Amino acid sequence: MTRTTLKSLAKALNMSVSTVSKALNDSHEISELTKKRVKEAAAELHYQPNVLAQSLKTGKTQTIGVVLPKMTGPFESQILEGMQHAASVQNYRIVIMNSMENEELEGIALLSMLDKSVDGLLFCPIHENSNVVLAEQIIQKIPVVIFDRTDYPLDTHKVGVLNSEGTYSACKHLFDIGKKNIAIFCGTNQGITAKRLAGYQRAHQDFNIPVVDEYTVYCTVKSIPDLHLEMEGHINRLLHLPNPPEAILCVADTITTHLLGVLAKLEIKVPETLAVMGFANTDLALSLNPSLSTIRQPTKDIGEIAVTKLISLISKPNRSQTAWEDTKLPTSIQLRRSTIG
Amino acid sequence: MTRTTLKSLAKALNMSVSTVSKALNDSHEISELTKKRVKEAAAELHYQPNVLAQSLKTGKTQTIGVVLPKMTGPFESQILEGMQHAASVQNYRIVIMNSMENEELEGIALLSMLDKSVDGLLFCPIHENSNVVLAEQIIQKIPVVIFDRTDYPLDTHKVGVLNSEGTYSACKHLFDIGKKNIAIFCGTNQGITAKRLAGYQRAHQDFNIPVVDEYTVYCTVKSIPDLHLEMEGHINRLLHLPNPPEAILCVADTITTHLLGVLAKLEIKVPETLAVMGFANTDLALSLNPSLSTIRQPTKDIGEIAVTKLISLISKPNRSQTAWEDTKLPTSIQLRRSTIG
DNA sequence: TTGTACGCGTTATCAT
DNA sequence: ATGATAACGCGTACAA
């Protein structure tokens, strides 16, 4: 059982390879009749072009590489699904490399993109200056689009969200329901944290509410059980302040979704004692107890737009003189019982 | 800025392509001195072999394809991460195709695996006889390993879990804490549901507890809000039975994790009125209120083992006379407050 | 309209 | 120990 190649197809048809090739590619210099004959025979013999040979010849692989720090978590998998979908629609495939939040692994992943096996790269850097020189090397050869963690010094298209607006709206909502004292739980990614923190501060300014320094809290721990402990400590400390907060705003998915568990364990009433809301992209927000008010990121859009922009770069002849776009998608807010009882 | 190829490298070194190629591949017929010179020059000029040309020549792509029904949800992304990890360690890359639970899309995805662009396929079929003929065609050309939904008529390695044992242990636990009347909420995948249902029934037999027909419930709906409504209906019906159940066992992740939300809305006490446990692979089980007792699948292992088995098939010369292994990994049970208060 | 010949970048066989 | 050359499967400029 040997593979059908152009050559074998040509032999079976008593024609030359080039005729067959042109016929299959609908060249105008081939008669309709032969085209039809060729295509029928191709279908008959289950001919499939060898994409490797095609790519070697054309220099295009119809493949785009994705390098991202993690792929568990609803946020990441939703982005990946968006990418996967947009890519397959436009006849591209996706190969994923996981940097596992590790700069060295990220370097290896990036390096493997230089071998002509992908037409473009979608990159979510671990932090704002990880592997920058490598990235600059890569972008000399293939187009790159930065997504999610867009605070990265590379001149190219970027696709992320309006981080500061998300926290701003959340604060506004909390103010509206009478919670003026809002603690904010920050995550480990500096660029994103900074943006979201800025929205929090700007909201306070605009509404003339003072920012209490002690309300800004950093959760640095990685494992879930440890995170629970760390958050317990923070909450106990906050509630014993002379002026304890009435709400907690979380700026990272893991922190947000696990906070309710911690509060339940401490038997703190939500939202009466502490209202809770934060960035989170899981369906489960609806099924938590109480259901969780969230700031939701348009993950699928991020993925799809990133892919579309990348593909447009790939097909563009002179990439050098492009005006780079820093696309910031709006977040949206779902109000549920963790803030409005 | 033109790419460094074997040829340009050779020219720079005043040597022939074949010498350079052999030197880089550590052929024994090349002197140490030249090897050293070649390798230095290669590093100097940032030479990277063109993997496409390599693959075209060798027939190996160092790439494995994954076709699976969905990739959101913790279960799927954990499996993917396991695959990704095992693959990269063994110097393979992964390209993912999402069938989106749609048999036609699955067919397209599978078809694209026939073009010599992957060395092997990891396949999680939509259901027990979707695209079987296509799969059989594929396995003629490249090795295939079936994962997760292993109830599929293809002679090859399979990697899944001991589904019936999971529900068996769960029932045993519920019996132990005095909940003899257990309702079971089933999902839409027939093969897996059947296995898990069997474990439920076997447990009842072994412990001499009658199976009540009305306790077996099917949740068929896809969207989360609708699923909530459907489950509400089932629960109301069950609780008005003359002999209402004291526990609910869920056999699909989505059902399990969302059930607590439904019960909270109905203000039903968990675990007092109804204990809850079920298959679920999310970290959030710990942070639900009450925290959720789960049957957990070794997702990372599934992914890693599937990859390892596939790679071993790829490197095996005579695939025809292999003894196919149907690997069933054990599940594990985490007891939390949704059953033991 | 069809066919011939070459090259994409490698690896592998055969000489030297 | 090293070098010339064919081949992998395809696309295409050029010739017929």
Tell me the pLDDT of chain B (341 aa) as tens digits: 578 999 999 999 999 999 999 999 999 999 999 999 999 999 999 999 999 999 999 999 999 999 999 999 999 999 999 999 999 999 999 999 999 999 999 999 999 988 889 999 999 999 999 999 999 999 999 999 999 999 999 999 999 999 999 999 999 999 999 999 999 999 999 999 999 999 999 999 999 999 999 999 999 998 999 999 999 999 999 999 999 999 999 999 999 999 999 999 999 999 999 999 999 999 999 999 999 999 999 999 999 999 999 999 999 877 777 899 999 999 999 999 999 98
Is A320 within 8 Å of A286 (Cβ atoms)?
no
C-alpha to C-alpha distance for A326 and A188, rounded to whole angstroms: 23
Q: How far is CA B59 from CA B109, B115, B312, in A?
A: 21, 12, 16
Residue B28: which residues within 8 A CB-CB, separation 6 or more? Answer: none
In the three-class reduction of DSSP (H, G, I as helix; E, B as strand; rest coil), residue A93 is classed as strand
CA atom of B21 to C1′ atom of C8, Å = 17
Residue type, A62: Q
Give every CB contact of residue B31 below 8 A, 6+ residues apart in sequence: none
- B219, B249 contact by CB (below 8 A): no
How many whole angstroms separate alpha carbon A144 and alpha carbon A309? Answer: 9
- The C1' atom of D9 and the CA atom of A203 lie apart, in whole Å, by 62
Q: Which of A341, A299, A305 is nearest to A326 (CA)?
A: A305
For residue A225, whether the previous peptide bond is cis, meaning omega lies within 30 degrees of 0, is: no
- Among B317, B299, B243, B310, smallest CA distance to B74 is for B299
Nucleotides of D under 7 A from a protein CB: 1-13
Nearest nucleotide to B19 (CA to C1') is D2
All residues at 6 or more sequence positions from A187 whose CB lies less than 8 Å from its CB, including other chains = A193, A219, A251, A252, A254, A255
Report the residue from A95, A140, A286 with minimal CB separation from B93: A95
Domains of chain B: 1-37 (no CATH), 61-160+299-329 (3.40.50.2300), 163-297+333-340 (3.40.50.2300)
- Separation CA A121–CA A112 (nearest Å): 11
Query: Which positions on chain C have an atom < 7 Å from some protein CB?
Result: 1-5, 7-13
Q: With contact defined as beta carbons under 8 Å apart, do B97 and A93 qualify?
A: yes
Alpha carbon distance A264, A282 (integer Å): 19
pLDDT of the residue at B1: 59
CA A28 to chain centre: 42
Alpha-carbon gap, residue B263 to B317, rounded angstroms: 56
Rounded Cα distance, B103 and A84, in Å: 17
As a whole number of angstroms, the distance between CA B144 and CA B90 comes to: 17
Q: Which nucleotide is nearest to A48 (CA to C1')?
A: D9
d(CA B310, CA B62): 12
Q: Which of B294, B241, B289, B283 is nearest to B269 (CA)?
A: B289
CB atoms within 10 A of CB A161: 25
Question: Strand pairing of B332-334 and B293-296?
Answer: antiparallel
Of the partner residues B224, B264, B290, the one whose CB lies closest to the CB of residue A283:
B224
The reported pTM is: 0.95
Going from the C-alpha of A209 to that of each of A163, A170, A202, A203, A337, the distances in angstroms are 21, 14, 10, 8, 24
